[in-house]
């Protein structure tokens, strides 16, 4: 992924135990270390399989969208925009104490000459470190707990969003929080007021659940059909970064029109309504990498997809209903 270039950044403290937000009155000082830290989190967020692409709801009054529209027209309002955004989120947090406290980093940045606004919510974590107490009889080293630390550069954050300032489309990563006795995605449903497509993680959960459902109902989990389906998905992704649902169902279930229909209907009912399911490169790589096979005795095999039902790895149906697995042409074996 292309590097991000941060032009402005600011940090606001949203600790619901304080009673008021601690809003910065100036932008964050320029710092190579800080820009590296924030830039890595922005890139990681954009590639996160839990991120979903959202658009603002047009039929509802949305103060936050107005804040962003005003900023879209004049980037000179960065400071006031960030404060208004942080204040709005803090007001919601005060009314809903289950929303976790955290530091809010707001950044103007560019990637591939395109302007974005990034908002990262670093929810507080409890961490431990050492403390040295100097006594007359000598030092006493002890372990102490910090309750207000944030994610380090290598950790994924739980919440954040990125706004494309050209079209106001939003990439959102969020977590469910209990609001009025119901767990909801408060960030999209209550704060941003936007509607999103399923994330890559959700897409794969829908696809995997549908695969298992149709294979069990129509083929009694026949292993040959399972490998056919996996290989058809990989062939799709090799040609592009999309899964063509109609093409896959017709190819794999050509002998069973009812299975084809169930496959398409099940995808649509679970939220994949488009004929082509686009996946990020990292998600595609995971699909294409290996197939995990577990026997009833607990034996596990991790087979590269390209070798499924190949001369290297053969699955042979025995007359008594059991399956024989042959692994051929092995030149060396490593113990791990």
Q: What is the residue-level pLDDT of the chain in tens, covering all 336 positions?
A: 678 999 999 999 999 888 899 999 999 999 999 999 999 999 999 999 999 999 999 877 899 999 999 999 888 899 999 999 999 999 999 999 999 999 999 999 999 999 999 999 999 888 888 888 988 888 888 888 877 777 788 888 999 999 999 999 999 999 999 998 899 999 999 999 999 888 999 999 999 999 999 999 999 888 788 888 888 888 888 887 789 998 999 999 998 999 999 999 999 999 888 888 888 888 888 777 777 778 888 888 888 777 766 678 877 878 887 888 888 888 888 877
CB 327 within 8 A of CB 310: no
**Under a CB-based contact definition with an 8 Å cutoff, are residues 194 and 188 in contact?**
yes
Q: SS3 for 213-234, per residue?
A: HHHHHHHCCCHHHHHHHHHHHH
Neighbour-count burial for 10-23, b at 16+ CB within 10 Å, e otherwise: bbbbbbbeeeebeb
Q: Are 121 and 102 in contact (CB under 8 A)?
A: yes
Per DSSP, 187 falls in state I
pLDDT of residue 310: 64
Place of tokens 């950790």: 155
**CA nearest neighbour of 54 among 162, 169, 199, 176:** 169
Q: How many CB atoms lie within 10 A of CB 82?
A: 27
DSSP 137-178: TEEEEEEEEEEEE---TTSPPSEEEEEETTT--EEEE---EE
Q: Which of 218, 123, 119 is nearest to 163 (CA)?
A: 119
CA dihedral 80, 85, 87, 93 (to 10 degrees): -170
**Nearest residue to 157 via CA among 187, 114, 192:** 187
Q: Phi-psi category of 91—alpha, beta or left, where left has phi over 0 and alpha has psi -120 to 50?
A: alpha
Nearest-angstrom CA–CA distance, 273 and 265: 9
Predicted local distance difference test score (pLDDT) of residue 320:
84
């Amino acid at each position: 992924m292309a590097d991000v270039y941060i032009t402005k950044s600011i940090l606001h403290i949203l600790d619901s135990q304080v009673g008021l937000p601690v809003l910065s009155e100036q932008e964050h000082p320029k710092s190579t270390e800080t820009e590296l830290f924030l830039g890595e989190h922005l890139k990681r967020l954009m590639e996160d399989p839990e991120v979903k692409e959202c658009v603002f709801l047009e039929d509802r009054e949305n103060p936050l969208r107005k804040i962003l529209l005003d900023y879209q027209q004049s980037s000179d309002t960065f400071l006031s925009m960030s404060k208004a955004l942080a204040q709005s989120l803090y007001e919601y947090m005060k009314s809903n104490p289950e929303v976790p406290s955290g530091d809010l980093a707001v950044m103007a940045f560019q990637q591939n000459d395109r302007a974005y606004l990034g908002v990262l919510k670093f929810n507080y974590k409890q961490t431990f470190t050492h403390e040295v107490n100097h006594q007359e009889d000598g030092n006493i080293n002890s372990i102490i707990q910090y309750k207000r630390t944030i994610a380090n550069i290598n950790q994924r954050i739980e919440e954040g969003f990125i706004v494309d300032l050209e079209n106001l489309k939003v990439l959102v990563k969020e977590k469910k929080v209990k609001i009025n006795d119901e767990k909801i995605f408060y960030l999209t449903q209550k704060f941003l007021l936007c509607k999103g497509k399923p994330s890559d993680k959700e897409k794969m959960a829908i696809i995997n659940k549908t695969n298992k459902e149709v294979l069990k109902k129509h083929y009694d989990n026949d292993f040959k059909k399972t490998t056919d389906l996996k290989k058809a998905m990989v062939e799709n992704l090799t040609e592009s970064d999309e899964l063509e649902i109609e093409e896959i169902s017709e190819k794999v279930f050509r002998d069973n029109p009812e299975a084809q229909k169930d496959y398409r209907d099940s995808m649509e009912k679970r939220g994949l309504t488009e004929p082509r399911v686009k996946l990020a490169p990292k998600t595609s790589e995971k699909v294409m990498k290996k197939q995990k096979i577990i026997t009833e005795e607990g034996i596990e095999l991790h087979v590269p997809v390209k070798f499924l039902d190949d001369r290297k790895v053969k699955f042979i149906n025995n007359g008594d209903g059991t399956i024989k697995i042959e692994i051929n042409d092995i030149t060396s074996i490593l113990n791990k």
